[in-house]
Amino acid sequence: MRFAIWQTPFGHMGALAGAAGLISLTLPMESPEDVFRELLGKGEPAHEDSGYFAGLIRALTNYFNGQELNCSCQLDLSRLTPFRRKVLQAVATIPYGQVRSYKWVGESIGCLRGFRAIGQAVGANPFPVLIPCHRVIASDGSLGGYTGGLDHKRRFLRLEGIKIS
């Protein structure tokens, strides 16, 4: 396992990867210590390797500077349930600068009544920003929830030029 922690305009972020690819990415946090606890708090042994994550760090830096995210990281989805995998794969198709509803996610995976489970899957996204869960909103146009807090969600949407009332 390897990890990296770096500074962004929105706060410190971190990434953890194993042999099959990226395992998790944190949302921006206040301190590198918070990021370290989030990434490695379960006691998995890992070594710091910023070079391994150079492409990811560059892509996220560009994103936070207002460019469309362009990252070809290998994501390790093996720790996710099949349902969560389907939800996140649908969310991953939401284009930059656009939003979709939880209902849309449900329809796209053939789960017309599982909005609570869809919300939980979106909320447990181990790859925020890369899989743009911030682009999922309520059917009435309100923000809905966001694991990292609605301030982060608003900032990401504004960064992409999305106007939310």
Cross-strand pairs, 29: 12
99 vs 44, higher pLDDT: 99
Residue pair 97/119 in contact by the 8 Å Cβ criterion: no
- State pLDDT tens for residues 83-93: 999 999 999 99
What's the residue count for the chain? 165
Tokens 């949407």, residue located: 157
Per cent of the chain over pLDDT 90 is 79
Torsion angle of C-alpha atoms 105, 109, 112, 113, degrees rounded to 10:
-80
The whole-angstrom separation of Cα 144 and Cα 100 is 11
- State pLDDT tens for residues 147-157: 888 889 999 99
Active site (catalytic) residues: 133
Residue pair 21/75 in contact by the 8 Å Cβ criterion: yes
